[in-house]
């Protein structure tokens, strides 16, 4: 029995030993893999191959709500006051706190649930050999000893000792920071090696950059190197960069609140006000200022957003992707299926002089990755699919029976060719090569000028063309790249893939959303240019993969910003283009569905794939479109920006008017002989206000706000707070004046007046803050929001006149107060409008801030794929007590 602590459990130890020795100590035969019952056994011992859980846990969420020193202090103080002072006041405080905590809990729990269900919709798979049969399994079910296959674009699913490699290169930047891919071998390393030197190993979380390999799993889950850095990262909470920023910002507010309320408390005590009252009052203010609900509210609106997205055929793998999707301003897309109909049709064969059409077609049909046996299921290659499924090729397909395919050199996106050795009916053996005409023609002995002319004509018409060539060979082994020479060209196979009728409209829509679109394709430059110009994209300056290779990174950036179409690019070129643009600051999205797109999908801020795409592409993507269409993508972007805009409303509300109110409460307590508001009243006002805010996700968003990528900008929020906070305080002090001098109010009346005024201004200002339009009523809020805001104000206004008033310490307000209130609310909103106009004009002049790219973001994204739903099953270090990185400012 293998114990988790055995020497093999560490990849570093395994790296120093030969592959056979590692296999032996793991008790596995590389030819058959583990037996299924052994896998079960090991799963019990080692646990799942996971480093995070996405299970929504009641207690954790509840603890989140209660885990606030302020709340604790408040409850302690309330309990103390229950025994020595006002019993009813203490009870009311207790009740309000319970309701607030409940509100936060329900919201956050629902968001967690939504996030968890997103996680369980997506699964990440690996190809593994068990009991002699290879198949796909969920990555979380891998155990040490499993024999796995690695292919291009895949994320390495565990720490693996390599057994055989074919030109394998891994991008290990997520672990080592090294941006150049590392070449891998099967050799053991000597002595003690650093992580970057483990040549004979592939490490969890890294990307297969080139080639393929087979290896044996040595360590899983949190015992991997990646697990060690990612353990404790909570992948479902506070996932977004904004939420992290918000946390930091909240901390700032808490500090301000601490200083403010601390001094209020001291001054109040020095002024000989009752100790406990002063303490409760200060704490209530502090609770009011702290935007406790904010993180919960952000996740809630994102969670609601993910449902709206899926109704628009956009699936996000994680909540954070919604925000990222709204933020993109540059989209790279492949051509096939996005710009073109994608239903590739075989049109005709163009034989060279002396050949027959049917022969070109016959060799073309044989030259595929399909296993011999004629009508065997076709692979995923779209050109081969089209060839094999076309009714026009049926007759030739029937006649293939006498041929035997002896070996295949698979298609790869760098060579853009594939070759087979075939024995024909007469027993003669041929090497047949099919591929991109440029590359195939280079390897042919002589090509007639007429053939080149025919090819150019097909390209100019925007048709996809592959060339078929052959030569007789003697050896009946599988072909190698070195064999592809001295070929005789047989002819061309022409396929039609016309531009999508609605793509031009969708491109226009993306342009209006402020998103630049660039096309990257493995197809020919002339074809790409033709399709693009048909759709209205500038296709006159096309850069090819060869051009890109000639540019170093410095020149690349200049050259690529000006270019819209990139043709004959390899998977690595696609990724390089994405990386070059990511330094520009804006969000870069990549849309693709092929194996050749996976590297770029990993490199992009937002990787987008389609439901019908290949597994590797879907695995690499953050967002999956149920339909490959730029229109669906545009819907997704709009939805993302809408959600973002609404979330921002909360933040602006909470940090400006709310903050202003609390500051005035603190200020007033200094010159009033009594507390300006009772602690329970402050908390009640806060609760009512929060409740009204819950309708914000339903709100309409101005078209103008959807036209820009949505960046989170904490500096913007801070400036907003500093302008609009004091503005709301101004009206609070006006109210104080009115209450004291016009109504000669005593404590109860004073508090009632201010309670109603602060709730009214604080709530109604949503109508101004929700839009940049001046005057605000030209933009229409949603009905639920309107009703909620007015409802809250109404409740606040009648409260002092109800039987509850006495218990809450309110007194009925005179009619004259409401007249004054009306005037003040109107004056306040007018001033806010003036401030808004000035603010947005000044803000327009500010340079936009790009997303601050944390390397952590990639770690989180990778970690999310090694996540399980079961709550208690994470053994060993996974359940370590390391604080969640997201929880504080001390991120590594
Ligand atoms: N099965 C095949 N047989 C022969 N040649 C092929 C085959 N598949 C692709 N090719 C050639 O390789 C070229 C590049 O293909 P690749 O898959 O890299 O790009 P693509 O996926 O077609 O383009 P896009 O990125 O727009 O989807 C094709 O244009 C074609 O010339
Ligand atoms: Mg493709």
**355 alpha carbon – ligand 1 mean position (Å):** 25
| Dist. CA 381 → ligand 2 center (Å) | 9
Of the listed ranges 143-157, 650-664, 693-707, the least confidently predicted one is 650-664
Residue 605, pLDDT > 50, answer yes
pLDDT band with cut points at 50, 70 and 90 for residue 11: confident
Mean pLDDT of the chain: 83
Q: Where in the chain is the domain with CATH 2.70.150.10?
A: 7-54+127-230
C-alpha–C-alpha distance, residues 641 and 688, integer Å: 28
- Which atom of ligand 1 is closest in space to residue 381's alpha carbon? 1
Nearest ligand to residue 614 Cα = 2
- Ligand 1 in reach of 221 Cβ (< 6 A): no
Tell me the mean pLDDT in the region 379-408: 83
Enter the tokens of residue 363: 């060799």
**Local confidence band at 373 (pLDDT 50, 70, 90 cut-offs):** very low
Name 719's Cβ contacts closer than 8 Å, sequence gap at least 6.
839, 843
Residue 874, pLDDT score? 43
- Considering the chain, tell me which residue range(s) the CATH 3.40.1110.10 domain(s) occupy: 349-433+442-493
Look at residue 881 and tell me whether its pLDDT is greater than 50.
Answer: no
**CATH class of segment(s) 316-340+500-635:** alpha beta
Q: Are strands 867-868 and 52-53 parallel, antiparallel or unpaired?
A: parallel
Distance between CA atoms of residues 367 and 363, nearest Å: 6
| Positive or negative: CA dihedral 430, 433, 434, 440 | negative
Q: In terms of Cα–Cα distance, which of 349, 413, 420 is closest to 381?
A: 413
**pLDDT tens per residue across span 624-639:** 998 888 999 999 999 8
pLDDT computed for residue 557 by the predictor: 85
Query: With 70 as the cut, is the pLDDT of residue 880 above it?
Result: no
Q: What's the mean pLDDT in 179-189? A: 88
pLDDT above 90 as % of the chain: 33
| Residue 380 pLDDT | 66
pLDDT given for residue 452 in this prediction: 93
Q: Does the beta carbon of 364 sit less than 6 angstroms from any atom of ligand 1?
A: no
pLDDT, one tens digit per residue, over 74-112 is 787 788 778 877 777 788 888 888 887 888 788 778 877
**How confident is the model at residue 149, as a pLDDT?**
92
**Is any ligand 1 atom within 6 A of the Cβ of residue 711?**
no
The tokens of 300 are what? 């809630």
Residue 150, pLDDT > 50, answer: yes
| Alpha-carbon gap, residue 497 to 530, rounded angstroms | 12
Our answer on whether the CB atom of 413 is closer than 6 Å to any ligand 1 atom is yes
How do residues 250-273 score in pLDDT, each as one tens digit? 777 777 777 877 888 888 888 887
Quote the tokens at residue 115.
């996030």
Q: Is the CB of 699 under 6 A from ligand 1?
A: no
The per-residue pLDDT for range 408-462, each reduced to its tens digit, is 888 888 889 999 999 988 889 999 999 999 999 999 998 899 999 999 999 999 8
* Stronger pLDDT, 29 or 280, i.e. the higher one: 29
Q: Give rounded-to-5 percent helix, strand, coil for the chain.
A: 55, 15, 30
Q: pLDDT class for 238, splitting at 50, 70, 90?
A: very low
Ligand 1: residue of 152, 416, 467 to mutate (most ligand atoms within 8 A of CB) is 416
Tell me the C-alpha distance between 810 and 825, whole Å: 21
CATH topology of domain 349-433+442-493: Calcium-transporting ATPase, cytoplasmic domain N (3.40.1110)
Where does CATH 3.40.50.1000 sit in the chain? 316-340+500-635
The conformation of residue 51, written as its DSSP 8-state character, comes to: S
SS (H, E, C) 449-493: HHHHHHHHHHHHCCCEEEEEEEEECCCCCCCCHHHCCCEEEEEEE
pLDDT computed for residue 845 by the predictor:
53
CATH class belonging to 7-54+127-230: mainly beta
Comparison of pLDDT for 677 and 475, the residue scoring more: 677
Report pLDDT for 311. Answer: 87
Q: Which two structure tokens, joined as six digits, stand for 800?
A: 């002092």
Q: What is the mean pLDDT of residues 338-360?
A: 89
185-200, pLDDT tens digit by residue? 998 888 767 888 888 9
Query: Could you give phi then psi for residue 470, rounded to 5 degrees?
Result: -155, 170
CA of 657 from ligand 2 middle (Å) equals: 51
Q: Is 452 left (phi over 0), alpha (psi -120 to 50) or beta?
A: alpha
């Amino acid at each position: 029995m293998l114990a988790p602590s055995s020497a093999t459990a560490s990849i570093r130890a395994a790296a120093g030993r030969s592959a056979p020795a590692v296999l032996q100590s793991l008790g596995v035969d590389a030819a058959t893999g583990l037996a299924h019952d052994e896998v079960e056994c090991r799963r019990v011992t080692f646990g799942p191959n996971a480093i995070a859980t996405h299970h929504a846990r009641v207690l954790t969420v509840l603890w989140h709500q209660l885990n606030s020193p302020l709340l604790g202090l408040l409850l302690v103080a309330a309990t103390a006051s229950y025994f020595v002072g006002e019993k009813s006041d203490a009870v009311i405080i207790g009740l309000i706190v319970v309701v607030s905590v409940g509100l936060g809990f329900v919201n956050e729990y629902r968001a967690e649930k939504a996030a968890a269900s997103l996680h369980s919709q997506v699964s990440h798979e690996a190809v593994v050999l068990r009991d002699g049969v290879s198949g796909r399994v969920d990555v979380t079910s891998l155990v040490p000893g499993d024999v796995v296959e690695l292919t291009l674009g895949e994320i390495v699913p565990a720490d693996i000792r390599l057994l055989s490699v074919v030109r394998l290169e891994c991008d290990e930047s997520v672990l080592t920071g090294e941006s150049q891919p590392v070449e891998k071998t099967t050799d053991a390393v000597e002595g003690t090696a650093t992580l970057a030197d483990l040549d004979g190993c592939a490490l969890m979380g890294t990307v297969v950059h080139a080639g393929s390999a087979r290896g044996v799993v040595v360590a899983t889950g949190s015992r991997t190197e990646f697990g060690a850095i990612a353990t404790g990262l909570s992948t479902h909470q506070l996932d977004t960069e904004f939420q992290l920023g918000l946390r930091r910002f909240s901390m700032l507010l808490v500090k301000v609140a601490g200083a403010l309320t601390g001094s209020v408390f001291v001054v109040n005590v020095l002024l000989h006000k009752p100790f406990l009252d002063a303490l409760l009052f200060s704490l209530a203010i502090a609770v009011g200022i702290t935007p406790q609900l904010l993180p919960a509210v952000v996740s809630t609106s994102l969670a609601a957003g993910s449902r709206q997205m899926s109704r628009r055929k956009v699936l996000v793998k994680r909540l954070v992707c919604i925000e990222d999707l709204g933020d993109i301003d540059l989209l790279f897309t492949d051509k096939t299926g996005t710009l073109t109909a994608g239903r590739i049709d075989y049109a005709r064969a163009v034989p060279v002089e002396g050949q027959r059409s049917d022969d070109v077609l016959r060799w073309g049909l044989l030259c595929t990755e399909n296993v011999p046996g004629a009508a065997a299921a076709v692979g995923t290659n779209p050109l081969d699919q089209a060839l094999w499924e076309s009714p026009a090729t049926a007759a030739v397909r029937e006649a293939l029976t006498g041929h035997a395919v002896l070996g295949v050199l698979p298609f790869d996106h760098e060579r853009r060719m594939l070759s087979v050795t075939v024995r024909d009916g007469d027993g003669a053996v041929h090497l047949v090569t099919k591929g991109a005409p440029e590359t195939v023609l280079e390897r042919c002995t002589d090509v007639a000028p007429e053939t080149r002319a025919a090819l150019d004509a097909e390209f100019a018409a925007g048709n996809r063309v592959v060339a078929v060539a052959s030569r007789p060979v003697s050896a009946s082994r599988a072909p190698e790249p070195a064999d592809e020479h001295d070929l005789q060209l047989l002819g061309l196979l022409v396929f039609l893939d016309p531009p999508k009728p609605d793509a031009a409209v969708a491109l226009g829509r993306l342009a209006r959303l402020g998103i630049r679109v660039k096309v990257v394709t493995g197809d020919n430059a002339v074809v790409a240019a033709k399709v693009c110009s048909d759709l209205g994209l500038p296709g006159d300056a096309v850069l090819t993969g060869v051009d890109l290779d000639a540019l170093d990174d410095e020149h690349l950036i200049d050259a690529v910003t000006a270019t819209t179409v990139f043709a004959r690019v390899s998977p690595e070129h696609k990724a390089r283009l994405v990386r070059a643009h990511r330094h520009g600051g804006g969000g870069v999205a990549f849309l693709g569905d092929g194996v050749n797109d996976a590297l770029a999908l990993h490199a992009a801020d937002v990787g987008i794939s389609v439901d019908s795409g290949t597994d590797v592409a879907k695995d690499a993507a953050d967002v999956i479109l149920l339909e490959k269409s730029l229109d669906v993508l545009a819907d997704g972007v709009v939805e993302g920006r809408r959600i973002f805009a609404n979330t921002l409303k909360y933040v602006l509300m909470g940090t400006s008017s709310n903050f202003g109110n609390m500051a005035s409460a603190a200020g007033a307590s200094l010159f009033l002989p009594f507390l300006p508001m009772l602690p329970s009243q402050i908390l009640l006002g806060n609760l009512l206000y929060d409740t009204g805010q819950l309708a914000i996700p339903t709100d309409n968003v101005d078209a103008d706000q959807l036209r820009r990528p949505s960046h989170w900008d904490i500096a913007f929020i801070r400036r907003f707070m500093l302008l609009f906070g004091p503005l709301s305080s101004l009206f609070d002090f006006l109210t104080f004046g009115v209450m004291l001098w016009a109504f000669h109010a005593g404590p109860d009346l004073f508090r009632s007046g201010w309670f109603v005024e602060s709730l009214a201004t604080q709530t109604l200002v949503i109508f101004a803050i929700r839009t940049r339009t001046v005057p605000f009523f030209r933009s229409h809020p949603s009905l639920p929001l309107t009703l909620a805001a007015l409802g809250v104000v109404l409740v606040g206004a009648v409260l002092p006149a109800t039987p509850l008033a006495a218990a809450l310490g309110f007194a009925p307000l005179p009619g004259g107060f409401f007249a004054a209130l009306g005037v003040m609310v109107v004056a306040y909103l007018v001033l806010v409008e003036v401030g808004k106009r000035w603010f947005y004009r000044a803000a327009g002049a500010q340079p936009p801030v790009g997303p601050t790219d944390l390397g952590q973001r990639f770690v989180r994204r990778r970690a999310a794929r090694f996540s399980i739903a079961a709550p208690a099953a994470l053994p060993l270090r996974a359940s370590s007590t390391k604080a969640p990185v997201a929880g504080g400012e001390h991120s590594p």
